[in-house]
Amino acid sequence: MLNILAISNYRSLRNLIVPPGALNLITGPNGSGKSNVYRALRLLADTANGGVVGSLAREGGISSTLWAGPATQRKEPVALRLGFHGNEFSYAIDLGLPKLPSESVFSLDPEIKSECIWHGAQLRPATLLVERRNGMVRIRRDGGEWEVVESHLQPFESMMERIADPQRAAEVLSLRDQIRSWRFYDHFRTDAESPARQLQIGTYTPVLDTTVGTWRRRCKRFSRSEMGAPWPRPFPMRFRVQR
């Protein structure tokens, strides 16, 4: 569960820190940034699947996704920061532009500048567990000493892609699996070839996947005693998706 969500310099969101509940409703006029909260959350999820840089590129690059509010004099480097506090660990990622100018067509691709994982809600030196700075990743061991586990991480790679391992980086693996369990249901396909319209083998699953391909599998036959009233036949297993 997300206890705190933090977003900085993403589109219309300059600095947002919110404590989500089990059910959240975001309201506001058009253009106020409601959908940007959701999109920022999806970007966070992409870090665990190795797709955050690609997702930013599809949005038009980091220059298109930075703070789009009133102009202010910039005193710090261009940076997009996302983070959250979960039940056990917290995570934050800092993305920016390359330091050195280049004539490459990819010169404006975003780079991952830093990532960190810490215990608890507040990031302090004593609570920091995993830290990534540019291409180097270090992990705090049980005795408090730091160990460098990666020194050549690519700017487009998240540390969750490379070092998530139960032996050398259990915290990274745990957090990556937690993020990968998030589900987003905002792009349901309803065409004839969509997963929701295909026949599925009936097996139990507690969570729908993002393609809604498992929704048929979650349907079960209700007996008369479960429905509390007589039914001429079991509840139908097949449903028609309405456009």
Q: What pLDDT is stored for residue 70 in this prediction?
A: 62
Written as one letter, the residue type at 108 is L
pTM over 0.85: no
d(CA 119, CA 22): 22
Contact by Cβ (8 Å): 169, 163 = yes
Q: What pLDDT is stored for residue 103 in this prediction?
A: 67
d(CA 3, CA 22): 10
Largest CA distance in the chain: 74
d(CA 241, CA 46): 29
Pair of tokens at residue 68: 């789009």
Half-sphere exposure in the Cβ direction for 9 (13 Å, CA): 17
Q: Summarize pLDDT for 88-140 with one digit per residue, the tens.
A: 899 999 998 877 666 666 766 788 999 999 999 889 999 999 999 999 999 99
Q: Summarize pLDDT for 65-82 with one digit per residue, the tens.
A: 876 666 555 566 678 999
Residues in CB range of 53: below 8 A, 6 or more apart: 95, 109, 110, 111, 112, 156
> Where residue 236 falls among pLDDT bands split at 50, 70, 90?
very low
Q: What pLDDT is stored for residue 216 in this prediction?
A: 52
Domain map of the chain by residue range? 4-180, 184-243
Pair of tokens at residue 195: 């997963």
Q: What pLDDT is stored for residue 150 in this prediction?
A: 93
Instruction: Give the closest residue to 93 by CA, choosing from 142, 50, 152.
Output: 50
Q: Is the model's pLDDT at 196 over the cut of 80? A: no
d(CA 19, CA 5): 6
> Where residue 214 falls among pLDDT bands split at 50, 70, 90?
low
Average pLDDT, the chain: 80
Residue matched to tokens 């997702």: 55
Q: Is the model's pLDDT at 167 over the cut of 80? A: yes
Work out the average pLDDT over 183-202: 77
Residues in CB range of 20: below 8 A, 6 or more apart: 2, 3, 4, 5
Q: What pLDDT is stored for residue 211 in this prediction?
A: 65
In the DSSP assignment, the letter for residue 154 is -
d(CA 192, CA 182): 27
